[in-house]
Structure 1
């Protein structure tokens, strides 16, 4: 594994892929897996996701009697923007959501305090007896596709030996586990039941 190593060109052919690095070195691969997060889109001829911002807060530990049934409950609101909430083992309340289309980190970070206050107010409206005091709050970027599903596999623009691992959609950890098994199957020439669902071919159906 080599960090701080920039790839300048990627040229696929029938037998493999040739990579040229910024220092002039050349690498020859049978297959390439592009797992570069948001930067992966720069290697595609079209944009397949947009970056959005999400926000969250966590409280100090609350007494069990204040939490009541919430101690064993996870809440996920399906509205847009959505709201989710769960408690931690030590009795803290973790709240998140209120996503927006902001894609500039400085602007996103400037909204964190206001967003946290808004999230706290939503929880207090649902559970008036709770007093939500955001101890820590933060914001982060995530990529969202039109249908909320990730993209795994090759794109026709680069041939069958360049595979993309794009766990976009807000469920990155779960999608990444699926994607790792899916891409391994493709490289080994095996079928995978989700290969078509998560392929770039579904883009044609969206337009």
Structure 2
């Protein structure tokens, strides 16, 4: 089991996945809350059955899997629907993350989550690393990556913790507004720091 768990968070379009990959290249185990959110709603899982019963068959894709864009449209236009879904999924996701982090075979491990604080996942970590970019860059990157209009990205940003509050709660900040080389340099520096903290925690 890892001696240190680092929570990695940041707003949509901040580049959390690229940062996670850079740590993984250094041999660090990373668990992604977005991946767990897909795992807990796989066909045959109780959560998917509950979602279909609540929202109706329109949230199912033809292959029987969850139609995520259809569900996203529903929950971002209805606060109660979003709350219902969060109450169902967050405990299941956290349970799965906790189990996987406990089995992590690296000196320290990462829990990567856009909603680290909002879901209470920060209780599973020892430190918080915020991947930060200016909001204009978030909008530009996320709308280009996801092929959706800026309005939808802004709604997602509004549902996430305010940038200043997120920064205020960080132990470390990685400025990801530069190029790939700059990001990798910062990851390597943080990697050395986390290895040192992990050794001290033995």
Identify the TM-score tier after normalising by the shorter chain: under 0.3
Larger radius of gyration: 1
Q: Which structure is higher in RCO with an 8 Å CA cutoff and minimum separation 6?
A: 2
More strand by share: 1
Q: TM-score, normalised by structure 1?
A: 0.24
